[in-house]
Amino acid sequence: MFLRHIWKDERLAFDPNEVNGTEMFLLDSDTVNKHLWIPDTFIANQRETKSHEFAGPSQFTRIHYNGTVVRSVQMTTTISCVLYLRWFPFDQNICSMDFESYGYTMKDVLLKWDVDEKNEPKIFLSKQATQSVRHTITAFRGRDHDVGLFSGRFSQAAFSVYFKRLSFRYLLDVYFPATAIPVVAFISLCVGPLHFRVLMSTICMAMMVVYAAILMLLTPKVDYKTALDFYVFNSSVTVFNVVLVNFLMYHLLKPKANAIRMHQMNGSRDEGKGILVEEDGGEDPTPVSSTAPRFPNKAYELLYKFCEKSYLTMPLFFIIFNLIYWPVVLIASSGTPEDFVTVESRNWY
């Protein structure tokens, strides 16, 4: 970034007629450091800041005839910000750079943003600066205030940006697998024999556990649940319920499966609609049992009916969850604070 200070020092004023009509002088860094007072501005929430150099220091200082001094420094800084990730990966956050004098209190130095004709701070961003691989800046704010510290009250000029996370990659890399695994588990409720359903749903559960474990290593570590955590948790519970239903169906129908094996050992064959037993002297097999299994009490029968309809109810609940989840997340994570200026309303260079 380019940080520019503008202040007026009447001791530096001069008459242009006395210097061949020159209205401005450009000073080198050595002259500035030796003979000129410059503000000791620093970024209060910085972690690391470094200036740039190519053929020399990337900075300039200009003195105008009326005593106005313009100093510009190119620097790169890393700052710390507290982020609210409740709606991650659709979160929007505010990050500020707090410029402050290191040694001069408000009695000596006041930091204020220069404003334009609309009384908006003269903060300029290039189009490239508003876009990154993971985030995009949607609004900004410049604010002047003071802070009270142990050594006194200091003037502070804060530059805040309101940015949102680019979530398209999360839709492909995170949400799609978290949706596809439950869908495959739903297919296991109505395809193949019972032992195949149990195996298929168990594999889906193992995939979901491994997927959730890897996801925990790659997502931000916070002490509260994010929107992504809630979605993955729901998908895990859904797949676990599918495994449980298939397991119960397998054990509820196990007596009937044992009866089928006994008939098969006696020479019968199962065509999918019941147990087929050949009549004495007949050529065509005749079904002898195609009714629902009988259970010792009413509780087993109700459990069987519940599991039997799960191929409809469980996908329906998953669809309802998604119909509620996505509008809530997208609406809650949208909008711009009222005291911010949107990027679209400014002419950037």
Cα–Cα dist 261/142, whole Å: 79
Residue range 1-80, CATH number: 2.70.170.10
Select from 328, 48, 88 the least CA-distant residue to 221: 88
pLDDT at 232: 94
Cα–Cα dist 60/73, whole Å: 7
State yes or no: pLDDT of 298 exceeds 80. Answer: no
State yes or no: pLDDT of 235 exceeds 60. Answer: yes
**Average of pLDDT values for 88-99?**
91
Angle at 266 between CA 262 and CA 270, to 5 degrees: 70
**Average of pLDDT values for 335-345?**
80
**Strand 135-149, strand 341-342: pairing:** antiparallel
3-state secondary structure string across 80-102: CCCCCCCCCCCCEEEEEEEEEEC
Give the rounded percent of residues in the chain with a pLDDT score beyond 90.
28
Cα–Cα dist 6/13, whole Å: 14
Break the chain into its structural domains and give their ranges.
Answer: 1-80, 85-166+342-349, 169-332
Do 169-332 and 85-166+342-349 have the same topology in CATH?
no
State yes or no: pLDDT of 349 exceeds 60. Answer: no
129-161 burial, b at 16+ Cβ within 10 Å, e below that, comes to: ebeeeebebbbbbbeeeeeeeeeeebbbbbbbb
297 burial type by CB count under 10 A (0-12 exposed, 13-18 middle, 19+ buried): exposed
CATH superfamily of 169-332: Neurotransmitter-gated ion-channel transmembrane domain (1.20.58.390)
**Average of pLDDT values for 153-170?**
90
pLDDT at 326: 94
**Average of pLDDT values for 77-102?**
91
pLDDT at 264: 46
Q: Say which residue, 134 or 129, is predicted with more confidence.
A: 134
State yes or no: pLDDT of 272 exceeds 70. Answer: no
**Average of pLDDT values for 7-18?**
88
pLDDT at 116: 82
pLDDT at 318: 94
pLDDT at 31: 83
3-class SS at 329? helix
Long-range contacts of 213-219 (CB under 8 A, 24+ apart): 215/174, 219/88
Residue 47 structure tokens: 């972690």
Residue 283 banded pLDDT, cuts 50, 70, 90 = very low
Question: Could you say which DSSP state residue 12 is in?
Answer: G
Residue 174 carries which side chain, given as an amino acid letter?
Answer: V
pLDDT at 293: 61
pLDDT at 270: 44
| Bridge partners for 162 per DSSP | 94, 139
pLDDT at 333: 82
Mean pLDDT (the chain, rounded): 82
Cα–Cα dist 117/120, whole Å: 7
pLDDT at 186: 92
pLDDT at 211: 92
User: Do you find a cis peptide bond into 255, omega within 30 degrees of 0?
Assistant: no
pLDDT at 292: 56
Query: Alpha helix locations (H) across the chain?
Result: 29-35, 168-170, 176-187, 194-218, 227-252, 254-265, 298-308, 310-332
**Domain 85-166+342-349 classification at class level:** mainly beta
